[in-house]
Amino acid sequence: MRILIGAVACAALSVPVSAQQVTGRPAGNFRLTDADGKVVTLSQFRGRPVVLEWNNPGCPFVKKHYDSGNMQRTQAEAKRMGAVWLTVNSGAPGKQGHMTGAEAKGFVATAKAQPTAYLLDPAGRVGRGYAARTTPHMYLIDGKGTLVYQGGIDDRPTADAADIKGARNHVLAALGEVKAGKPVSVAETKPYGCSVKYAS
Amino acid sequence: MLLTLAAALCAPASAQMVQGQPTGRHLTLDLVPESATPAAGSRVTVALSGTLAKGWHAYWKNGGDAGIETRLDWTLPVGVKAGELRYPVPQRLLIAGLMNYVYEAPFALFVDLDVPAGLAPGTRLPVRVKADYLVCTEEICVPEQAELATELVVGDGAVVPATRARFDAWRAAFPRPLGSVGRFELAGGRFRMAVPFPASATVPGEGGYFYPLTSGAIDYAAPQRVVRDGDRLVVETKAATAAQAPTTVEGVLSLEPGRGFAARAEPGQVAALPAQEAGPALGGAIALALLGAVLGGLLLNVMPCVFPILSLKALSLARGGGAGEREARREALAYTAGVVLVCVALGAVLLAVRAGGSAAGWAFQLQDPRVIAALLVLVTAIALNLAGLFEVPTPAWAGERGGTGGAFATGALAAFVATPCSGPFMGAALGAALVLPAAAAMAVFAGLGLGIALPFLLLGFVPALRRRLPRPGPWLGTARRVLSVPMFLTALALVWVLARQAGADGTVLGLGAAMVLALALWWAGRRQERGLNRAWWPVLPAALVAVAALLPVRPEARAADIAGLAGGEAFTEARLATLRAEKRPVFAYFTADWCLTCKVNEKAAIETDAVAAAFRRANVAVLVGDWTDGDPAMGRFIERHNRAGVPLYLWYAPGRDGQLLPQLLTPSMLTALTEERAG
């Protein structure tokens, strides 16, 4: 029930439905409830870089990065660099990967994931507002609230964990450049993975 | 742990599928060589033939909003090289607002293998490949892996008929290269791409779609419009909000399911398509087209085809120089109404005809020889009237007489005759009109009419202008007779057009009709001179005879046009072999209705008189391969010449191998080939 209320609260978000966020422009603010039922807004993290990760635990591409520990390592490294990590699940009820708050907490604990918060977006409003198309689909917002990266987690669009070694982790690379005060060299890539299982 | 959790979350429909642990593969792949016994030093196509379980789909090279491309890892004998993976035309699958470019029906991917030269026949070439691909349902995705193997034996390159048939069917689904590069423009959040596509080529129905290989160009899920615009196809859709615009856009333009053209476009300007709903941009486009139409119409007044008709009007104005203000205005308005109504009517018919799927163009009415013949008779009658052979009585149909009716009819005739002249000058405005919404298009046609009528409208409404016209006097009679000369010349021009369209028979019928009517008019004129009552009656039966004579006028079948180059015959490999065995020089060319470069070459080089004469002198046999429908046998022949598509030009000097000619031909290049042989 609380999730539903949270979802309704999303209706107040400033992002128009199904709009796409433009790299280099302010990222649209949003409000979602996390796995504990707490309301989280993007703007509350102003001043720190924020990583958004679209998640569906059932998707083989997500498994590639969680089962290998690559996503957890990326999360730890990002947080070490002072970033906030928000994992978002836009799977609709009844679709693959949809989770209740309790299930999400179970997933985070089992996978030893380290997001700052696991956000539930069952109505898909934030997902569509960011035009999140795949799981995973990654975004980086700098401390000023500007979207500086959107796309895939790395440059190896496969489901094979063996490809992680030697891949360029676009998120960590962009975060490193942001921390160093440099412009992000690779600001957009084509995300790869399963399609986000939105409500039809 | 994770597995049980995920499985528990699955919808009942997919619950029997354990995540990541497929109970069996959902895509069955087979490795099928076109020839199991390829010749050494040749290239053999190998198909990965795929069949999907029900409800599953595999991805195109660009999966759209999701998905990944298939990866192949080959294990090949030394010297054997695998080419790039080629994909057939995909289909669209929109799931919850996300676009997927997929295959659901059985499909085949192609790879070309190069077999090294110098291998002894009978050499075994084991071919193995590991394929990594993604298959999904609307709910879940599974990456799968398949290990495939086949063995080739170096031989004669023979293809089993059954395999040939399978490959022919698969090949039909592969995009054919369009040959000419298009243009694309990203502006105002819209993506527009114009691809050269000959106006003569038919576009099968609605529902064209551009599958982009280039990412960052279009929003995959947005609806597309594919519209025919003259000799281009224009694709318009929502642009992707990418930070960097692509420098080139590639993809597959599909006009019917499972068929497509490989298209490439470079940055350039592409005029906006008129939106279905009128927006500010559309308003601007209409205003511009309208302005162009009015100016063009104005210009038409000095064109040779309208000028004689206008001379009628000029005469009547000169005569009515002293007429009342109100009458002058009324006549000017009637004339304008005549012009505008005919323009709008012609436009309406044109739009209706086009809506019916025909590729009719402006001035279509003059493509019917019966209309030409009728105009010939009419123009002859007017010329005779101007020459003074007879007078038109008061309830005038048309002519130099004043009166609202006469003015209206003159205007109508002027507009009808003006259309062929308008082509070259008005092409752009009218082209725009044809893709505008119907109401806006009609406004453009009306604008054209207004332009034609404008000078007379001004004369009618500005007395000062009218006063500057010369006063009526005896000179008028002379002027009238002089003006009959351009009218007779117009008749002569129409005879020429008629002869071109309908041949000798049609010309004789048209001239006969004109003569019968002329005789009747002459007779009527004599009766008028004697002041007889009902001096007009001989004209009626004569007019009926004339109409009856015109009805059987038919366009002459023009064999030369259909066969392309005179003496050209359909290409087959067998025929080519025969001709070469006869030691005849052979020019073989491959063309398609949708290939603009081909059409340009044919008009500018191949079908010129100089080339025809040179070919005749040298006894050159011409073979024409029409690849419009993508004939697979011809496709293989083209591929063997390292061309992915048309145009392809080959020259076979007697006793020598074929010579590949450039894709842009000139007449001198072709005539030089024949002289080379002579010398």
A58 contacts B10? CB cut-off 8 A = yes
Question: Among residues 67-106 of chain B, which lie with CB inside 8 Å of chain A?
Answer: 67-69, 71, 95-98, 100
Task: Summarize pLDDT for A142-182 with one digit per residue, the tens.
Answer: 999 999 999 999 999 988 899 999 999 999 999 999 999 99
For the cut 90, the answer to whether the pLDDT of residue B593 exceeds it is no
Phi and psi angles of residue B232, each rounded to the nearest 5 degrees, phi first: -140, 160
- Write out chain B residues lying below 8 Å of A124, CB-based: 96
Phi and psi angles of residue B246, each rounded to the nearest 5 degrees, phi first: -65, 150
Burial letters for B401-422: b for 16+ Cβ neighbours within 10 Å, e otherwise?
A: bbbebbbbbbbbbbbbbbbbbb
Contact B524, B391 (CB under 8 A): no
pLDDT score, position A15: 34
The residue with tokens 């060319």 is B589
Percent of chain A with pLDDT over 90: 75
In Å, what is the CA distance from B327 to each residue of B333, B335, B337, B389, B406?
10, 12, 15, 28, 13
In Å, what is the CA distance from A167 to each residue of A68, A103, A163, A190?
14, 31, 7, 15
For the cut 90, the answer to whether the pLDDT of residue A67 exceeds it is yes
* H helix or E strand, kind and range, residue B591: strand B586-591
Q: Tell me if chain B has a CB within 8 Å of the CB of A176.
A: no
Q: Tell me if chain B has a CB within 8 Å of the CB of A61.
A: yes
Please name the member of B68, B100, B140 whose beta carbon is closest to the beta carbon of A58: B140
Token digits of residue A126? 């934030």
Q: Tell me if chain A has a CB within 8 Å of the CB of B3.
A: no
pTM higher than 0.90 for the full model? no
Chain A closest-CA separation from residue B133 CA (Å): 9
Q: What is the spatial distance between Cα B284 and Cα B393, in angstroms, rounded to a whole number? A: 48
Question: How are beta strands B98-103 and B621-626 bridged, if at all?
Answer: unpaired
Nearest-by-CA chain A residue for B100: A195
Q: What is the spatial distance between Cα B362 and Cα B380, in angstroms, rounded to a whole number? A: 25
Q: What is the spatial distance between Cα B28 and Cα B609, in angstroms, rounded to a whole number? A: 57
pLDDT score, position B307: 57
Q: Tell me if chain A has a CB within 8 Å of the CB of B143.
A: yes
In Å, what is the CA distance from B99 to each residue of B212, B234, B669?
12, 21, 49
B71 contacts A133? CB cut-off 8 A = no
Outline where B462-555 has alpha helix (H): 463-467, 475-529, 539-550
Token digits of residue A185? 């060299």
A194 contacts B140? CB cut-off 8 A = yes
pLDDT score, position B133: 92
Contact A87, A115 (CB under 8 A): yes
> Mean pLDDT across the stretch B160-185?
90
Long-range contacts of B671-674 (CB under 8 A, 24+ apart): B671/B610, B671/B611, B671/B614, B673/B585, B673/B587, B674/B585, B674/B614, B674/B615, B674/B617, B674/B618, B674/B620
DSSP letter for B28, please: E
The residue with tokens 């085949």 is B108
Q: Which range, of B78-82, B409-413, B552-556, averages the lowest pLDDT?
A: B552-556
Chain A closest-CA separation from residue B173 CA (Å): 26
Q: Which range, of A156-165, A183-192, B198-207, B246-255, averages the lowest pLDDT?
A: B198-207
Task: Summarize pLDDT for B45-86 with one digit per residue, the tens.
Answer: 999 999 999 999 999 999 998 888 999 999 999 999 999 999
A96 contacts B139? CB cut-off 8 A = yes
> Mean pLDDT across the stretch B335-358?
74
A95 contacts B141? CB cut-off 8 A = no
- Write out chain A residues lying below 8 Å of B59, CB-based: none
Chain B closest-CA separation from residue A139 CA (Å): 14
Q: What is the spatial distance between Cα A24 and Cα A16, in angstroms, rounded to a whole number? A: 18
Residue B162 neighbours by CB distance under 10 Å: 8
